[in-house]
Amino acid sequence: MSPFLSDVPAGLLDVDELLAQLTVEEKVALLTGRDMWHTTPLPLRGIPSIRVSDGPNGVRGTKIFDGVPSSCLPCGTALGATFDPDLLAKLGQLQGQEAKAKGAVAVLGPTLNIQRGPLGGRGFESFSEDPVLSGLLAGHYARGLQQEKVAATLKHFVCNDMEHERMAVNVLVTPRALREIYLLPFMLAISIGDPRAIMTAYNKVNGTHVSESKGLLQDILRDEWKYDGLVMSDWWGTYSTTGAIQAGLDLEMPGPARWRGAVLSHAVMSNKVTVGQLDDRVRNVLGLINYSAAARVPENAPEEQLNRAEDRALLRRAASESIVLLKNDDNRVLPFSKGGKTTAVIGPNAKTARFCGGGSASLLPYYSVSPYEGIAAKLGQEPRFAQGSSDHRLLPLLGDQLRTGTGGEGGGKGGGEGGGQRGFTWRAYNEPPTVVGRRPVDERVLTDSNCFFLDYEHPDLAPVWYCQAEGTFTPAESGVYDFGLGVEGTGRLYVDDELVVSNVENQKPGTTLFGAGTVEETGSKALVAGRDYRVRVEWGCSKTSKLPSVPPVGGQHGGLRFGAARRIADPARAIAEAAALAAQVDQVVLVVGLNGELESEGVDRTDMGMTAQTDALVAAVLAANPNTAVVIQSGTPVGMPWIDQANAVCQAWYGGNETGNAIADVLFGDVNPSGKLPLTFPRRVEDNPAYVNFRSEAGRVLYGEDVYVGYRYYDKTKTSPLFPFGHGLSYSTFALQDLVVVDQQQEEAGGSNSSSSSETSTAAAAAGVTRITLQISNTGSRGGAEVVQVYVAPPAASSVGRPVKELKAVHKVYLEAGQRRSVSIELDTVLATSYWDEGRSQWCSEAGEYKVLVGTSSADTPLEAALRVGRTRHWTGIKP
């Protein structure tokens, strides 16, 4: 046991004693990671290494390449669509348990960045365009996660709201918008969930990178909000030595150090960084280590799987409750019948499980269920199917369609009945494929053919190394198949030893492999259904390429990505065949949308549309059969030029492991939809408030919409979006009535000041808590849930321009058919009425008469009552 543990509880570090005894070099070592996922240990001082793991959609563990499978949550916007803090707490607790199984004591999530426009490549990770909803959900998620003594890490602090030039862009934002829109979710989440870590954003804010911004990290986070947790950089998001330490960045990630190490020791020696500043940073690292001790996760623990029945049930509930019923004309289309009617499933997303977006949020799930599989299980039989169109820009990954055995020798008739297991055999070598008799240094069976070796390690690996991926492909349909290969390094793809794709000479930089890889080179070959084909990729590491490495992730080892798909030779004919099938059945599920290739970390979308072929497919199927439910899978809005012809539309997001089952549950009525849009869906990309300011121009982006983000903009300009914030239908109908707004302090004192939708008196709320009560009734024939949304409108004579109304509270309530319940919601009066006063650099709750608006979306607030604030109050801090 360390000699410094005698005066503190068993298992905890005596931080003050350690700070007195550690050398400068030891303190410096603690301020950077040991590797990608671990902090640096000091065994002689009794200081262990702790493990962190990516976590927006699930806990990946320590491996980007060949990771241990985990539970995959619905994406951030899907979770936002639940409008359910209690559900988020349950999911957070599950993630805490998954983290322990993976040996991690800190999860890098949730993501609180604001969806200020529909094109953000990473928008699917975030909860909402609204700061209150984002902060509320994140706070409860953090609370659930930390019930397991696993630290939540709020990210990315702050204004990392697009991917274009994300490490260099300077976000120009007014102090008021910064406070009211972008910092507010972090402020609320900290006050609710007390997360033990925060990750800084890559970008600059008003001229300074966040990781070295004293104004953000010290003045606001530490001094004003009194935050006492750890602040870490995003991966390779540290840009200085002295500046970052002085600003308050505790931990540089990942390791080994780029900006610290000997450079920081020299800065301390030369007094550019004081020992006191160094100690402040070390104290927070040791504090997180002490916090994590209660999780009882052994140092360098092996990674394990859970995949329990109760977890699968919770994931299915979360995915189904996230689905938003956008349209269901006259309640005539949905829910579909499970028996007595013929069903077709159509669309490019139907047989592929789009379970999460791309980038660091992606992970290897325990399992995934496609919409087709979920519907087939629900019906008890295989529905009829047509793909109709393709939606990929990169060819779909091939790995999980391969198997390691063959049904016959080299391309003989196998009929798909051969031996082996799902996936392909991967081998690493220190010699190129031209060396006869080379022996592998590593061998594995993989299912993911997007192999990025960023964190791959093997003790016998040479500086220049090679790998081979090999498996058997048995096509279900005859036709010409396109094969694609993107690499960081060099590679060739063979089918039955015939070279089909070469990505060796004349390589071009592309977007594969987190932007470190080449464009996808393609080739084609005619294949026969039911026949076995041997697919082989020969690859050389990044050092075999003539292309320069792409920082920060390029140049480590490299990687490869290979995929394939049957070519739709005649797109118009394929659409016509799908429409013909639709006309032959009673009901159609049409599954379209985006995927993790189109919505991914590192690159923003260029437009809001799906492919032209997909839109043509939707229009043709709708014309052939009006009894069609269009199911959209995306993390952010897509264009819907066919919306007026559609009778039923569902927004299904990326639903995690249970994607297909959840879609089937809602479509066939086993779950009554209750999801609400956590962001506004514009009719056109040009209509959204960030349209003219959504990319880095000369190294900066202007947040020109100021505080008018999302529905605030549409309200202010009186512009009707395609679907408003908070919108979502049900198979039931609900009635809200009898709104009463009461200042609780006055009520407890025996006063009668209150306001209701049928009275003209007002509640005199000078400070304290405002209580809102109303009655809600389920007037339909099915049990279901409704989300009561509370908005506050400013005084007519406000001293500054303010949004027409702003969301301040949500309450999700389940009612059986015919049931009536009373709902009570409490608001912090000062917080709910405050704006940021730039003249004073303080929050201001301005005296005057406010309106409390209650309804079921930002465009539907039928109940209204007055709320009077008796005096103006200025304040600062984490809460009034």
In angstroms, the CA 216 to CA 208 distance is 10
**Which amino acid is located at 528 in the chain?**
V
Using a 10 angstrom Cβ sphere, with 0-12 exposed, 13-18 middle and 19 or more buried, the burial of residue 126 is buried
Could you tell me which residues come within 8 angstroms of residue 438 by beta carbon, excluding any fewer than 6 positions away?
429, 430, 431, 432
| 571-584 helix and 612-624 helix, angle to the nearest 10 degrees | 30
Q: Which of 822, 833, 827 is nearest to 810 (CA)?
A: 827
Q: Are 347 and 592 in contact (CB under 8 A)?
A: yes
For the question of residue 234 being annotated catalytic, the response is yes
Q: Are 336 and 345 in contact (CB under 8 A)?
A: no
Which tokens hold the place of 179?
A: 């406070």
Catalytic residue among 234, 615, 687, 743: 234
Using a 10 angstrom Cβ sphere, with 0-12 exposed, 13-18 middle and 19 or more buried, the burial of residue 325 is buried
In angstroms, the CA 114 to CA 574 distance is 39
Q: Are 868 and 861 in contact (CB under 8 A)?
A: no
Positive or negative: CA dihedral 241, 246, 252, 257: positive
Q: Are 833 and 809 in contact (CB under 8 A)?
A: no
In angstroms, the CA 129 to CA 681 distance is 11
Phi, psi of 544 (to 5 degrees): -85, -5
Q: Are 765 and 868 in contact (CB under 8 A)?
A: yes
Name residue 790's beta-bridge partners. Answer: 809, 854
Strand, coil or helix: 263: helix
HEC string for 165-205: CCCCCEEECCHHHHHHHHHHHHHHHHHHHCCCEEEECCCEE
C-alpha distance from residue 802 to each of 148, 256, 490 (Å): 41, 47, 56
In angstroms, the CA 416 to CA 529 distance is 9
Q: Which of 358, 456, 442, 365 is nearest to 37 (CA)?
A: 456
Torsion of CA 866, 872, 876, 880, to 10 degrees: -40
Q: How many residues does the chain have?
A: 880
**Which amino acid is located at 808 in the chain?**
K
Which tokens hold the place of 64?
A: 């980007």
Q: How many Å is the maximal CA-CA distance in the chain?
A: 92
C-alpha distance from residue 132 to each of 139, 152, 629, 745, 771 (Å): 10, 19, 32, 24, 18
Torsional class of 122: left (φ above 0), alpha (ψ -120 to 50), beta (otherwise): alpha
Using a 10 angstrom Cβ sphere, with 0-12 exposed, 13-18 middle and 19 or more buried, the burial of residue 755 is buried
Phi, psi of 831 (to 5 degrees): -60, -40
Q: Which of 643, 645, 663, 646 is nearest to 654 (CA)?
A: 663
Q: Which of 344, 341, 327 is nearest to 579 (CA)?
A: 344
In angstroms, the CA 174 to CA 707 distance is 9
Which contacts (CB < 8 Å, 24+ apart) does range 412-417 have? 412/531, 412/532, 413/530, 413/531, 413/532, 414/472, 414/474, 414/530, 414/531, 414/532, 415/474, 415/530, 415/531, 416/474, 416/530, 416/532
Strand, coil or helix: 316: helix
Which tokens hold the place of 233?
A: 């950089």
Q: Tell me the catalytic residues.
A: 234
